[in-house]
Structure 1
Amino acid sequence: MSTEDIWAVAASFGEIFAVESPPTHSDMDVAFRRAGVLSPQSAPGSGIFSISKARRITNAFDQADEGKVDGLIRALTSSLVAKRVFEKTYDEVTQNLLDELRRNLARVGWGLSPAGSLSPLGVIDVQVGGREALEHQIKRLRNSGDDVSLILGAAKDSLEAGAKFVLEERQERYQPDESLEALLNRAMKLAGISTRPADVSSDASKALATINQSVPKIAEAVRKVRNDQGSGHGRTVMATMSMPEAAFIRDLTLSVVNFLLSEHDAHPRW
């Protein structure tokens, strides 16, 4: 996403918050804390000078690094949803501002539904199309927001894409019906990740081997929860898994994929 695109998103949020109340300044404080940014209502060293809501949003985006921009977008959108701004279908001014926000969010890879639900744009083919396609799949997982089913589906897809990427880079074939656990187990071996202690006399070495042994089991667990509650398969029921549980699976999956790719990059292919 370009700086210009981010500025456009910030301006859209600023215009909406400027005309809507709620969300209040206090609601914005909550959103900023969730996103891990600081944008106070008063100027530094002054308890009198009040900064406008639009300016506070601009300040928040200015200080948010690339890793926090998506979190800030999610937090501000959630604030608008909580205060029922998206339900004001009778207000033409508000709807025009929301339409502009949708257009600008699309520029940075987000889709925004009429009800205020965020979702990453674009469908990534699980069949690996190079490192760029894999990075897009990982980004899709990172940007899965608070949608539990999407998190679980993207987690399984990311593990599968990561394993297939390593296999293809190592000129290894895989079968269409090969299980996720088998794919990941083979990819780990090719990337030089050992499930046996390098030094049997070292407790640390044995502990590391135990952790490595758990990776295929993690993949198996992710596959099972995805099949039961994740996106895909034309599912028509809501996921019952809690958001903290889904976030844990997302973070664990990202750690596994990053570990696999780091070891793959660190070991020569020939």
Structure 2
Amino acid sequence: MLTTVRAAMRRPGGARRLVDALLVDLRVVGFFDGVPEQRGNVLAAQRAFSRRGWMLDDDGHLSPVGMIDLATGGREALEEQLDRLRRATDDPGQLLGSAKDLLEAVAKFVLEEVGMPVAGNPSFNHLWHLARERLGILPEQVAADTPGAKHIKAVLQSSWKIAEQVNELRCVQGAGHGRTLPTGVTAEMALLMVREACSVAEFTLTTLHRLYGR
């Protein structure tokens, strides 16, 4: 194995194909089948990939962590990242950053799909306000005579607070890979926020599909 890794370092252009092939072999022999004896090794591999900016899921599939390329991936890239985050359990600090990136990409995707791409480098809050406005999911857009209007408004406001706080926590953490959780945020709390952020992203995408068929 060490000889193989050294060969990959000499030829970085083919390193990803090599790593993918090695992971296929490990999946074939059952390395990722949840065998208790292998769990420590799987976690060690996940931590090692995470430090390099990659996410190795519990099924042995590798994917980059970070910004989503909407130009080449579109809705499919968002769905893949959403699915990975929903299933992931390792490195909550890293996952918080990925959740923020997902939420920002969802807002940009919505605005592009409704014909309102935003130029420049708008803030996270501005992007999400515009996206929610276009989808009619701002609390103030709920008609007062709607049955349960008070509760619907509260839920919509709560969903935005989740997105807002994930973004702010991400800023507290800093920009680099291998970042740690802010003081006072447990791994369980971080994972809760990641899963809730996924729910917000999914709700936004399904609303877009219902209204625009996209």
- TM-score above 0.5: yes
The answer to whether structure 1 residue 12 and structure 2 residue 29 are counterparts is yes
Q: Give 2:127's aligned amino acid.
A: L
SS in 2 for 1:145: coil
Could you say if the C-alpha distance between residues 260 and 233 of structure 1 is closer, same or farther in structure 2, counting changes exceeding 3 Å? same
Q: How many residues align?
A: 178
Superposed, 1:161-172 pairs within 5 Å as 161-172=105-116
Q: Are residues 1:234 and 2:176 paired?
A: yes
Q: Which residue of 2 aligns with 1:200?
A: 144
Q: 1:196-237, CA deviations, whole angstroms, 9 ceiling, x for partnerless residues?
A: 3644256612110121123332222111111223xx622565
Query: Could you tell me the TM-score, scaled by structure 2's length?
Result: 0.66
Please say if residues 156 and 223 of structure 1, whose CA atoms lie closer than 8 Å, have aligned partners that are also in contact.
yes
Name the structure 1 match of 2:159: 215
Q: Name the aligned partner's letter for residue 163 of structure 1.
A: A
Alignment map for 1:54-65 (pairs within 5 Å): none
Aligned ranges 1:229-268 → 2 under 5 Å: 229=173, 233-234=175-176, 238-239=180-181, 240=183, 241-268=185-212
Code of the residue aligned with 1:76 in structure 2: it is: G
- 2:20 matched to which residue of 1? none
User: Aligned residue for 2:64?
Assistant: 122
Identity rate of aligned residues, in percent? Answer: 29
Larger Rg: 1
Q: Is the 8 A contact 2:55 2:63 kept in 1?
A: yes
Q: Are the aligned partners of 2:66 and 2:97 in contact in 1 as well (CA < 8 Å)?
A: no
Contact 1:199-1:206 at 8 Å conserved across structures: no
- Structure 1 residue matching 2:34: 3-state secondary structure: helix
Query: Structure 1 151/77 Cα, relative in aligned 2: closer, same or farther at 3 Å?
Result: farther
> In the aligned structure 1, how far is the partner of 2:191 from the partner of 2:143?
34
Is the 1:192–1:263 contact (alpha carbons within 8 Å) kept by the matching residues of 2?
A: no
Higher helix proportion (structure 1 or 2): 2
Say which structure, 1 or 2, has more relative contact order (CA 8 Å, 6+ apart).
Answer: 2
Structure-2 separation of matches of 1:197 and 1:171: 20
1:139 shift after superposition:
3.2
Indicate if the aligned counterparts of 2:67 and 2:98 stay in contact, CA closer than 8 A: no
User: 1: CA distance between counterparts of 2:164 and 2:202?
Assistant: 18
- The 1:220–1:119 alpha-carbon spacing in structure 2 relative to 1, beyond 3 Å, is farther
Matching residue of 2:34 = 76
In the superposition, relative to structure 1, how do residues 9 and 191 fare at CA in structure 2: closer, same or farther (>3 Å)? Answer: farther
Gaps spanning 5+ residues in structure 2: where? 1-22, 46-53
* C-alpha RMSD of matched pairs (Å): 3.6
What is the TM-score with the length of structure 1 in the denominator? 0.54
Aligned position for 1:23: none
Counterpart mapping for 1:124-143 below 5 A: 125-129=67-71, 130-143=74-87
